[in-house]
Amino acid sequence: MRIIGTGSVLPETTVTNDMLSQFLETDDEWISSRTGIKTRQVVTNESFEELSAKAVMAAVEDSNINLEDIDLFICSSTMSPYLTPAFSCVVSEILGLNCRCFDINAGCSGFISALEIANSYLKSDSATRVLILCAENMTRMVDWTDRSTCVLFGDGIGAVIVDAEDSFLSITSGRYDNGDSLVMKSPGGNSPFMPKDEDNHYLVMKGRDVFKKAIEAINHDLKKAVFESKVMIEKINHFLLHQANLRIIASAAKSLKVPIKKFRNNISNRGNTSSASVPILIDELNKSGLLKQGDIIAMAVFGAGFLSGASVFKWAK
Ligand code: COA
């Protein structure tokens, strides 16, 4: 598998930490020092599906292919405006794309899961070019009265297109630990046969627990992916971690004994965009010319489930 093109789209509205302190008991100092986040982009009156279609077209253009060349479309989404149909169907309808498509929900680690699925299709000759769209409308998911969660997230969309050339050196994923540290229950409906729905339908998070598990999972998965890639860790040019918290990134760098400057990040002005965070980061690095042909990239993701994964690949676009 090889990444042949990338695209990303962020909604237009920027929300600063100071804006949050207008309606929450919080401030820029607390948020910046605990998370590294300064601003995030949020959906207001835009159509999330139209933004997603734009991200796909940006990746198609970057790949120098035609939309019709895509024969499988996988969408990773924890939260989109639709429970059904699959968000990939909604975006396909806008684009006039008629290939097979389906959604996956592996929380913030969905990008790696989507890549693993794409890899299997490509390896078995069941697809030749796969579109992976990570579309995350996280601001629908959080409780905007809960200062311990809503300050962390932003909306965003990242897309990549992969083909069957050989540039992925390793890829691994798994369920790392129990899943009760990041939970959102779906609405219960009004079935007369069930007890009245009294659940909270916002994201509920055990922040410290997630923090600890994230560092353990990154360490475990990255070491495994690096070992299986047969690349010396010193030879890796860029480390791209799920953008959840700058302190998590710094702790991972320290325990892996890798200089922090190799850990690219955009969290200060994106916040946590769930599974879209790494593809958005890849697109930003790609478009700003920071990825050179032959560069070795290691990535690691983690999130609800508790799911996590990592991969080492060569930039060969
Ligand atoms: N502004 C001000 N104070 C806040 C606050 C905010 N936005 N959010 C929480 N606090 C308060 C808490 O109420 C607590 O107050 P108390 O001591 O009076 O009870 C205090 O700050 C410390 O809370 P604590 O949870 O210990 O802070 P922390 O240093 O662990 O940082 C997180 C909290 C959420 C930033 C951190 O745990 C984290 O980033 N965890 C990982 C979350 C994550 O990445 N989730 C997504 C994974 S995909």
Backbone angles phi, psi at 22, to 5 degrees: -70, -30
What value does the CA radius of gyration of the chain take, rounded to a whole number of Å? Answer: 19
Tell me whether residue 242 is one of the annotated catalytic residues: yes
> Cβ(108) to ligand 1 under 6 A?
yes
pLDDT values of the chain reduced to their tens digit, one per residue, 317 residues: 999 999 999 999 999 999 999 999 999 999 999 999 999 999 999 999 999 999 999 999 999 999 999 999 999 999 999 999 999 999 999 999 999 999 999 999 999 999 999 999 999 999 999 999 999 999 999 999 999 999 999 999 999 999 999 999 999 999 988 889 999 999 888 999 999 988 889 999 999 999 999 999 999 999 999 999 999 999 999 999 999 999 999 999 999 999 999 999 999 999 999 999 999 999 999 999 999 999 999 999 999 999 999 999 999 98
Q: How far apart are CA 287 and CA 281, in angstroms?
A: 10
Q: Which amino acid is at 124?
A: S
> Cβ(273) to ligand 1 under 6 A?
no
Interval between CA 77 and ligand 1 midpoint (Å): 25
Give the domain ranges of the chain.
2-166, 170-314
pLDDT score for 178: 83
> Cβ(175) to ligand 1 under 6 A?
no
Q: Which two tokens stand for residue 173?
A: 């994923």
pLDDT score for 205: 96
**CATH of 170-314 given 3.30.70.360, 3.40.47.10, 3.40.50.261, 3.30.1330.40:** 3.40.47.10
Closest ligand 1 atom, residue 147 Cα: 7
Whether 48 and 12 have beta carbons less than 8 Å apart is answered as no
pLDDT score for 188: 84
Q: Strand, coil or helix: what is 82? A: coil
CA atoms within 13 A on the CB side of 220: 17
> Cβ(151) to ligand 1 under 6 A?
yes
Interval between CA 282 and ligand 1 midpoint (Å): 28
Interval between CA 149 and ligand 1 midpoint (Å): 8
Interval between CA 266 and ligand 1 midpoint (Å): 20
Whether the CA torsion 170, 175, 181, 182 is positive or negative: it is positive
How far from chain centre, in Å, is Cα 121? 21
Q: Any bridge partners for residue 301, and if so which?
A: 309
pLDDT score for 238: 98
> Cβ(174) to ligand 1 under 6 A?
no
Domain 2-166 has CATH 3.40.50.720: no
Nearest CA to ligand 1 atom 21: 148
> Cβ(244) to ligand 1 under 6 A?
yes
Identical fold, 2-166 and 170-314: yes
Strands annotated E in 110-261:
129-136, 156-163, 168-175, 182-183, 204-205, 238-241
Closest ligand 1 atom, residue 274 Cα: 48
